[in-house]
Amino acid sequence: MQKCYLALGCFWKPEEIFRQTKGILKTEVGYAGGDKNNVSYEEVCEGNTGHAETVKLTFDENIISYEQIIETFFKIHDPTQKDMQYPDVGTQYRSEIFYEDENQKDIAERIKNKLNKKFDGKIETIISKIKNYCKAEEYHQKYIMKKRI
């Protein structure tokens, strides 16, 4: 099993999409990329922590590859928007791939560079080493699924 961390706007919808994807064993939403080890939703919303809303995925690489996950990442949000996704504005809604190791970094950069040619260099997605991930509050976990019940 492997893990990956993706920021692509509000984390509710991407979590729902990945939760239903074959090979994804576990999803969790949280905050990553900031300067503190632990933050709250309210702190992240203030825009001063440096954290982004992030989906943490645990996946079976024998069923779905990291490359396939990154390709899906680019398909399910607009990577050309800086510090926002549709109506949500702020650095916490930025497009960012957090990698765990050099292999993940290389794959993410290769896919981004390939797509950037198609988007005339307009992709705003950041690629950085994962730091200071913390799980979001329980009411954010599986939010869309809970609201359907």
Residues belonging to the active site: 10
Task: Judge whether 92 and 44 are in contact, CB under 8 Å.
Answer: yes
46: which residues sit within 8 A by CB, 6+ positions away?
none
Instruction: Read off φ and ψ for residue 45, nearest 5 degrees.
Output: -65, -25
Task: Judge whether 56 and 97 are in contact, CB under 8 Å.
Answer: no
